[in-house]
Structure 1
């Protein structure tokens, strides 16, 4: 825990004592500021969403919830806001779709997250240009990105968005004669998150303390223009948002993201804080993947201080098909095409440290298309959390499962190098995630190591991997990204120094082709027993001191 986090936690405890005297709860979702003025009240309603991650299947429901929001509270000033990471990956068409979707539902402003940069700034700028043209042709009002802690050189492609005022440090929006100020923040770890991607030269992200100073500066500029209702759109993550809430006066609401928290209702010390001037600030975050959205209804007093507030998280569970969303998907991605039939429904195994049947299916498809002996891939959020209904499977289902469109590489690795990669993945402490495979089986030991690497075979013969033999491998770039992010330089060297060949397809393309090869024969998604995990704790006899020492040595194992 860094010093800033410690200070933040201490300050929250102190502020909570004041909050208890300041607010009166009317329900789990609401509060009333008993110290606030009662004249010239201003009603404000905010619809918020964050971390959609290009999840196509949830777009229709989000549109339905946004439409419902627009019809409610006709006397309130309304805003539709995003906490960032609405798009992910290298897919140009999916990126285009997400930004145009945000225009379609009426998003006013958005934070800019790390995943917005997945394809680099050149592609991001191109997508912003396409989004603006789409808005112009369809008589829509294009949204802006708001980011206060990002310095962009004039030679970087995103300098065009700054010039066009589509990427701003702060802005003012007027609703019904009432002025609102907005500031924004991108993750302070942006460069580390985007290190594999092109076009990041000429971009500098400020650390937490410089970010705080920049936000204070922009808030001060807004206040000098008599703006007393200010909203921060942040992709800093929950702890950093709490720090900002307690450190910066003048902010009333923080629409957050990045950490995928579901912040329900109004809870002092969790999503309700006091600024240094002892004014309330509410922190919002609505999970991930469009599984939830949120609405916040506020009453400001004449000084712009929150007087009443009601925060609701709304589950996006109702299966709906919105004609405008469907039309947009068809225009950009093409018509959905039937591929095959799933015999039984697949319910996701929402864990990263075991075999994932959905990932195994993708790995099989990659190995088949590449003509490789072995396929390696890392679990991602889409594969861990998404299921499939029984029945017809379409290209749209596969696009929803593989939004990242990562590059695929084929290379040769020795058995020793293969074991080193697999062992590294399960030995990363809390962030460990078993590498998903096709063509081999292996065992994860109770001391976070890998053993018993065996080639898969149709006759169930157990052919061990030879440490000195070369094997043809196909792998998803996400593996290289994870190694970069965790500074696993030995793994990076293994993957980068080989004569790797980039393929002209991604894992989604491979799966589409693979399912088609079944020729409409129903198939199942089920475990293939490729990853065996030994029990964490084996039988142990000995003295109490011996047991304590044994447990101490395996502390990392205990917290997993």
Structure 2
């Protein structure tokens, strides 16, 4: 006799709730159909469902996303870096208070180095015929960020070795919920033949028919809800052996339309905006933004960033500010609209010679029009660089009124996205301090209140 097990998976929605109504209804209908047919079915999300660019996510600090996962009938999730490091310690600790699903993450410990009460390292599910499925969850190893927030994160591979040894003798198959990325998933497939299925995320990769690596089936469904993954697993119930694994993706755009699709999407957005209508300050004049020319709001934000970090100087790109601020009342919703990024302030210590080279790199004429993707950036283009306490005279660079001293140590304030090696590779190796959980919009709010 055989049993068919259906696994549906989503990942990296990043609060693109415009795609959620079709996904929600599709998953609810599929789950009900399989249950009616007497087949086992499980729904898993592989992290980064939460993204604070969306007003509802920002206003509820992710709890609105948890309600959406509840409504769709998910069985378990793991966390991504957006759940893990864009909320402060207490907000992540309470994120899943109302969850009606399991949260499985095997490499996160709280500030007392214990497993948080809302998370499990693994979970065993038993199908209708008695097949035991061990599900393990792991999240990306963003050690400096987790530690800055008070969490202890451990090596995913070290934890996986321990968990596989612990879980494998007690189950018939293992599924890994991996918010680690495609390269790590392929490496795990090669190194851990005990794992039957890896459902992947983090690098937004798409595997239309899955990918088999050393007998392990990998599945991944891209980003933003463009796809829903479906893994169909056939098991011989007499031997409890997996005999076949098939993977496919359903395109969100081709899922059945939903009656109140537009209304749901608009309502979630409006609900978030309403909740964010909390007054921050009242401006006596407007502060416009120009991405390619001098304008007041980017300069104000750059000065605020330098002050916040206690730095000697600072820079940022004007494209971070999506829009300016009008004269009159400013609310949290306004600040979220113009600075939707989950980007933190950062300060780096470096010698003057290194600082001079980094500043010279910001003068690249191609950068203002560069379209930026990822790294927490939620804008359109880089925009011109804006400086605080950095001046240019002839061919020399000044900090304050003094030319940069090549041997002196300086403290540079900048957005954290510039420290990941994509734009300034030399910054990766230098000593850094990340200011968390505050985002750039929090720094601007602090400055405006002054």
TM-score (norm 1): 0.53
Distance 1:378 1:196 in 2: 29
Q: Measure how far apart 1:486 and its partner are.
A: 6.3
Q: Measure how far apart 1:283 and its partner are.
A: 0.9
Distance 1:487 1:477 in 2: 14
> Structure 1 residue 55 and structure 2 residue 3: aligned?
no
> Structure 1 residue 78 and structure 2 residue 26: aligned?
no
1:309-328 superposed matches below 5 A:
309-317=245-253, 321=261
Q: Is the 8 A contact 1:300 1:306 kept in 2?
A: yes
Q: Measure how far apart 1:80 and its partner are.
A: 0.8
- Number of the residue aligned with 1:96: 63
> Structure 1 residue 199 and structure 2 residue 150: aligned?
yes
Q: Measure how far apart 1:334 and its partner are.
A: 2.6
- Number of the residue aligned with 1:423: 361
Distance 1:425 1:310 in 2: 51
Q: Is the 8 A contact 2:124 2:134 kept in 1?
A: yes
Q: Deviations over 1:240-271 (max 9, x none)?
A: 222332333443221111222101114xxxx1
- Number of the residue aligned with 2:274: 334
Q: 1:145 to 1:316 in 2, by over 3 A?
A: same
Q: Deviations over 1:11-46 (max 9, x none)?
A: xxxxxxxxxxxxxxxxxxxxxxxxxxxxx2111111
Farther-moved stretch of structure 1 (302-311 vs 399-408): 399-408
1:478-493 superposed matches below 5 A:
478-479=417-418, 488=427
Alignment match of 1:155 (pick from 97, 112, 117): 112
Q: Measure how far apart 1:291 and its partner are.
A: 2.5
Q: 1:83 to 1:416 in 2, by over 3 A?
A: closer
Distance 2:194 2:23 in 1: 30
Q: 1:212 to 1:127 in 2, by over 3 A?
A: closer
- Number of the residue aligned with 1:468: 398
Q: Is the 8 A contact 1:405 1:506 kept in 2?
A: no
Q: Is the 8 A contact 2:318 2:386 kept in 1?
A: no
Q: Measure how far apart 1:304 and its partner are.
A: 3.5
Alignment match of 2:96 (pick from 109, 125, 128): 128
Q: Deviations over 1:66-118 (max 9, x none)?
A: 23433544422111111222224694634222233222222211122333221
> Structure 1 residue 69 and structure 2 residue 69: aligned?
no
- Number of the residue aligned with 1:262: 206
> Structure 1 residue 376 and structure 2 residue 316: aligned?
yes
- Number of the residue aligned with 1:273: 213
Alignment match of 2:122 (pick from 170, 195, 205): 170
Q: Is the 8 A contact 2:6 2:40 kept in 1?
A: yes
> Structure 1 residue 214 and structure 2 residue 162: aligned?
yes
Q: Deviations over 1:417-444 (max 9, x none)?
A: 5762462898xxxx99999344669xxx
Q: 1:107 to 1:286 in 2, by over 3 A?
A: same
> Structure 1 residue 111 and structure 2 residue 78: aligned?
yes
Q: 1:464 to 1:49 in 2, by over 3 A?
A: farther
1:219-230 superposed matches below 5 A:
219-223=167-171, 228-230=172-174
Q: Deviations over 1:398-422 (max 9, x none)?
A: 9699654435699xxx999576246
Q: Deviations over 1:107-151 (max 9, x none)?
A: 21112233322134332102222xx1xx5xxxxxx1222123x26
- Number of the residue aligned with 1:289: 224
Unpaired segments ≥5 residues, structure 1: 1-39, 136-141, 275-279, 338-357, 384-394, 442-452, 456-462, 514-560
- Number of the residue aligned with 1:540: none
Alignment size in residue pairs = 377
1:309-458 superposed matches below 5 A:
309-317=245-253, 321=261, 330-334=270-274, 360=291, 366-367=297-298, 370=301, 376-377=316-317, 403-407=340-344, 417=355, 420-421=358-359, 423=361, 436-438=382-384
Unpaired segments ≥5 residues, structure 2: 278-288, 305-313, 323-331, 365-372, 402-411
Q: 1:246 to 1:378 in 2, by over 3 A?
A: farther
Q: Is the 8 A contact 1:103 1:143 kept in 2?
A: yes
Q: Is the 8 A contact 1:406 1:507 kept in 2?
A: no
Q: Deviations over 1:276-328 (max 9, x none)?
A: xxxx4311111123232212223222233333443222233378626566655
> Structure 1 residue 304 and structure 2 residue 252: aligned?
no
Q: 1:504 to 1:286 in 2, by over 3 A?
A: closer
- Number of the residue aligned with 2:283: none
- Number of the residue aligned with 1:244: 188
Q: 1:432 to 1:418 in 2, by over 3 A?
A: farther
Q: 1:97 to 1:403 in 2, by over 3 A?
A: farther
Distance 1:216 1:122 in 2: 30
Distance 1:424 1:196 in 2: 30
Distance 1:484 1:437 in 2: 14
CA RMSD of aligned residues (A): 5.1
TM-score (norm 2): 0.65
